[in-house]
């Protein structure tokens, strides 16, 4: 597997040094290559092999962020080129590839110097393009609100930089600036009030609540939706090419999924909540969801009509406009017991006496805490991307019920196709891979071949 490691050279040019990449193509080929990327010596962390970017957002932050993005793009470029590289690829081959990388990412000539009609046409207004995309995709109701949020965020960014960018005017630098804007927008407010300096943005494009601190995964999702819109514009001929072709998005980072064990679920189900009867109802609902493995949105939509021959049948909302496949989950004896317990509740169309999702999440935390289910789990903070340790009840939510279902089943049968047929994941879904916690008791039988 290809690997890259960056270090600075000893050559000094006004306080900057050129980056050298140690590129290991395979076990037999390792090269030390000049990158033609010059970075400030004082900003380079030799231990981590990357730039130290100050937390305070300003000119230095933006410049170093763009440089680090270029370094990351070069690393990704070299690794991706390994797929098609010939067996004869030597050091000269990879030197040429680095030159090709810089040529591909070189700034485009100013369109004002070209007199052709095509170069002088800036293309459709970006916000109008968003509206056209949303209208074209309006059949997918789940896509619309997310794209609308992205559209309004991009509009606020253009108000921030005081440039009304049209489709053909977006560059790689603009995308890097948009990423920086997503990181700092929450600082435009203080104690819930917009700072006077930025008031013009929110007078034109109001927000219902002040923007929160965005984690890396949230920023990636917004940028990814913007890329989807641009790709659609290219396909429909609204723009010749997407600026994302020269811009590398760093993907989402997820921690290892945590979930309750069967023993913990049994303890919760048998715990005496007689002093808290309302909480006991939500406990039953949570255990039922853990026996069905459904996303909370699909779970809340269940009615008695979804009960078909001893099973729950439904079409997941996430794939409704994609595959439209029906998911069938046979009912366990415990699931039947819970459903029958509430089958006589009057004046209710839904399968269970659901409360609002937010109150449901609060109830889950409370029930686990009261039941003494406090095993410490390691989670990844989505904002800082640093690992943290918490009692499991602190991080519990309705989605943990889905993880309870998947994690415990996989520990038993290790058959992704079988499990995904009951969870609604697409075949080969990368999201499903994250649920596959490989336990020692799964590994041990495999290793017996060496005994």
pLDDT tens by residue, 123-144? 688 998 998 888 887 655 556 6
Predicted confidence at residue 116, as pLDDT, reads: 43
337: pLDDT confidence band, cut at 50, 70 and 90?
very high
**Span 225-253, pLDDT tens digits:** 999 999 999 888 888 889 998 888 877 67
How much is the pTM?
Answer: 0.59
User: Can you give the residue ranges of every domain in the chain?
Assistant: 3-104, 122-246, 262-450
Long-range contact set of residues 223-230: C-beta below 8 Å, sequence gap at least 24: 223/175, 223/178, 223/179, 223/182, 223/249, 224/249, 225/146, 225/147, 225/150, 226/150, 226/154, 226/178, 229/129, 229/130, 229/133, 229/147, 229/150, 230/167, 230/170
Predicted confidence at residue 400, as pLDDT, reads: 94
Q: Is residue 30 within 8 Å of residue 48, measured between CB atoms?
A: no
Q: Which of residues 116 and 420 earns the better pLDDT score?
A: 420
User: Mean pLDDT throughout 386-390?
Assistant: 87
| Residue 332 pLDDT > 80 | yes
Predicted confidence at residue 249, as pLDDT, reads: 81
115: pLDDT confidence band, cut at 50, 70 and 90?
very low
**Span 420-434, pLDDT tens digits:** 788 887 766 666 566
User: Mean pLDDT throughout 177-192?
Assistant: 91
Region of poorest pLDDT, from 273-277, 314-318, 337-341? 314-318
Dihedral sign for Cα 141, 143, 145, 147, please: negative
Q: Which CATH superfamily is domain 262-450 in?
A: Intergrase catalytic core (1.10.443.10)
User: Mean pLDDT throughout 255-271?
Assistant: 91
Tell me what the pLDDT averaged over the chain comes to. Answer: 83
450: pLDDT confidence band, cut at 50, 70 and 90?
low
């Amino acid at each position: 597997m290809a690997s890259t490691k960056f270090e600075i050279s000893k050559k000094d040019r006004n306080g900057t040094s050129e980056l050298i990449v140690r590129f290991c193509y395979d076990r037999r080929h390792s090269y030390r290559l000049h990158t033609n990327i010059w970075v400030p010596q004082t900003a380079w962390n030799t231990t981590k092999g990357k730039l130290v970017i100050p937390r305070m957002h300003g000119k230095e932050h933006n410049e170093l962020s763009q440089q680090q993005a270029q370094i990351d793009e070069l690393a990704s470029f070299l690794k991706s080129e390994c797929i098609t590289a010939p067996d004869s690829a030597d050091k000269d081959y990879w030197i040429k590839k680095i030159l090709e990388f810089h040529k591909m990412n070189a700034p485009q000539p100013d369109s004002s110097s070209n007199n052709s009609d095509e170069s002088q046409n800036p293309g459709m207004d970006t916000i109008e393009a968003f509206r056209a995309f949303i209208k074209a995709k309006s059949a997918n109701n789940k896509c619309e609100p997310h794209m609308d949020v992205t559209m309004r965020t991009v509009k606020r960014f253009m108000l921030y930089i005081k440039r009304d960018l049209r489709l053909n005017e977006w560059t790689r630098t603009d995308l890097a600036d948009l990423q920086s804007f997503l990181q700092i927008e929450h600082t435009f407010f203080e104690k819930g009030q917009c700072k006077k300096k930025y008031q013009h943005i929110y007078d034109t494009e109001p927000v219902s609540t002040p923007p929160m601190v965005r984690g890396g995964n949230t920023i990636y999702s917004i940028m990814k939706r913007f890329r989807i819109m641009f790709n659609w514009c290219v396909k429909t001929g609204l723009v010749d090419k997407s600026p994302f072709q020269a811009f590398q998005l760093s993907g989402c980072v997820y921690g290892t999924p945590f979930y309750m064990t069967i023993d913990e679920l049994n303890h919760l189900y048998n715990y005496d909540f007689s002093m808290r009867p309302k909480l006991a109802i939500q406990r039953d609902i949570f255990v039922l969801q853990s026996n069905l493995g459904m996303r909370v949105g699909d779970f809340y939509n269940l009615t008695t009509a979804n009960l078909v021959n001893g099973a729950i049948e439904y079409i997941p909302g996430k794939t409704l406009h994609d595959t439209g496949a029906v998911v069938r989950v046979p009912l366990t004896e415990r699931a039947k017991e819970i459903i029958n317990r509430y089958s006589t509740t009057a004046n209710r169309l839904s399968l269970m006496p659901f409360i609002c999702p937010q109150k449901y999440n609060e109830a889950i935390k409370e029930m686990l805490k009261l039941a003494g289910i406090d095993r410490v789990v390691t989670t990844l903070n989505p904002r800082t991307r640093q690992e943290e340790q918490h009692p499991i009840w602190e991080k519990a939510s309705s989605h943990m019920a889905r993880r309870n279902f998947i994690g415990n089943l996989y520990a038993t049968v290790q058959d992704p196709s079988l499990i995904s047929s009951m969870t609604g994941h697409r075949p080969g879904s990368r999201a499903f891979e994250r649920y596959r916690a490989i336990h020692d008791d799964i590994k041990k039988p495999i290793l017996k071949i060496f005994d």
